[in-house]
Amino acid sequence: MASEKTQEWFSVAINLVKEAGQVVRDAIKKKKNIETKSSAVDLVTESDKAVEKLLIDGLSSAFPDHKFIGEESVAGGEKCVLTAEPTWIIDPIDGTMNFVHSLPYTCISVGLWVDKRAELGIVFNPVLNQMFTAIRGQGAFLNGERIWASGQKELSQALVFAEMGTSLDPVKVDTVLTNITTLMPKVHGLRAMGSCALNMCQVASGGMDVCYEFGVHAWDMAAAYLIIAEAGGTVVDTEGGDFDLMRRRVLCAATPELAAAIAPLLKQYQPQPDGSCN
């Protein structure tokens, strides 16, 4: 069973995530006030900022000694450093481009890491009412029902998420296109939906067999990492080695065998790691 402290962390967080979900539901069909960040396709809206403030204000009030890494806070100049202290890692709206276009494949992602280890993860798509949750050692769940990765081991039978990302760096674009061209004849199918956290949760729940992405951030992966792990899936670096939350790349698979089959095929790309500029 989860400790009393962990259960308290989870209860407070999930109630705040549900409250934040109403903000997203209310806003997704409305006109958005959009700003750009690193490129014309790297977007932020008033809703991103409002959701992050709601979550951080609520969590810091309940747990004043905890640390935070939030996407919009980091964009505003806050440090992106993962220490051993209890740290909430938050993406207020993952899939902002989808949100801007009213595509309901978007989510709120909240993970808590303690001693640099994932303790709990919550990924909530409030538009489709899909609540993915995990507490370390307690399994992974979708709307309260236990979920499992597919168990697929054969690359030829694997359905794969191959994301574009938001960087327009020519080297990154070439990497993305090269990998799609390489994988297309070798896998069962390729998809791109625009939310790393939800893609990872689809691997956890068995709807997809693989997802990989270069250029993501800690807040895209912190919650879903635990959800996949608790669902029996595998999360590694894109080269197949140990996963590093701050390295900004990820390969998730239903099984270690499938991860080992796909990693050598990928052309590699190394974005600047999170925290390297702070």
Cα→Cα distances 15→10, 93, 202, 215, Å: 9, 17, 23, 30
* CA quadruple 147, 152, 158, 162: dihedral, nearest 10: 50
pLDDT at 94 > cutoff 70 = yes
Query: Which of the following is catalytic: 48, 52, 71, 163?
Result: 71
Is residue 133 domain-shared with residue 192, that is, in the same domain?
no
Instruction: Let me know if residue 27 belongs to a domain.
Output: yes
pLDDT at 188 > cutoff 60 = yes
- pLDDT at site 202: 98
Query: Residue 78 is encoded by which pair of tokens?
Result: 């806050």
- Number of folded domains that form the chain: 2
Is residue 137 domain-shared with residue 84, that is, in the same domain?
yes
Rounded to whole angstroms, how far apart are CA atoms 142 and 148? 10
Is residue 118 domain-shared with residue 33, that is, in the same domain?
yes
Q: Which helix (H) or strand (E) element contains residue 19?
A: helix 4-27
Query: Which of the following is catalytic: 48, 94, 119, 274?
Result: 94
- Indicate the pLDDT class of residue 78, thresholds 50, 70 and 90: confident
The predicted-structure confidence for 106-165, as pLDDT tens digits, reads as follows: 999 999 999 999 999 999 999 999 999 999 999 999 999 999 999 999 999 999 999 988
Instruction: Let me know if residue 272 belongs to a domain.
Output: no
- Residue range of the domain that includes 177: 155-265
Mean pLDDT throughout 177-189?
A: 98
Question: Is 26 a known active-site residue?
Answer: no
pTM beyond 0.75? yes
CB 136 within 8 A of CB 119: yes
Rounded to whole angstroms, how far apart are CA atoms 15 and 58? 10
CATH code for the domain of 215:
3.40.190.80
pLDDT at 172 > cutoff 80 = yes
Instruction: Let me know if residue 138 belongs to a domain.
Output: yes
- Indicate the pLDDT class of residue 6, thresholds 50, 70 and 90: very high
Query: Which of the following is catalytic: 87, 96, 106, 166?
Result: 96
CB 213 within 8 A of CB 263: no
- Indicate the pLDDT class of residue 278, thresholds 50, 70 and 90: very low
CATH code for the domain of 45:
3.30.540.10
Output b/e per residue, 64-101; b: 16+ Cβ within 10 A. eebbbbbbbbbbeeeebebeeebbbbbbbbbbbbbbbe
Question: Is 244 a known active-site residue?
Answer: no
- Indicate the pLDDT class of residue 75, thresholds 50, 70 and 90: confident
- pLDDT at site 102: 93
Instruction: Let me know if residue 106 belongs to a domain.
Output: yes
The predicted-structure confidence for 43-68, as pLDDT tens digits, reads as follows: 577 888 999 999 999 999 999 999 99
Question: Is 87 a known active-site residue?
Answer: no
Q: Is 10 helix (H, G, I), strand (E, B) or coil?
A: helix
Query: Which of the following is catalytic: 48, 72, 220, 274?
Result: 220
Instruction: Let me know if residue 273 belongs to a domain.
Output: no
Residue 88 has phi, psi (to 5 degrees) of -85, 125
Is residue 80 domain-shared with residue 214, that is, in the same domain?
no
Question: Is 48 a known active-site residue?
Answer: no
Question: Is 94 a known active-site residue?
Answer: yes
Query: In angstroms, how far is the first alpha carbon of the chain from the final one?
Result: 38
Is residue 130 domain-shared with residue 256, that is, in the same domain?
no
Question: Is 91 a known active-site residue?
Answer: yes
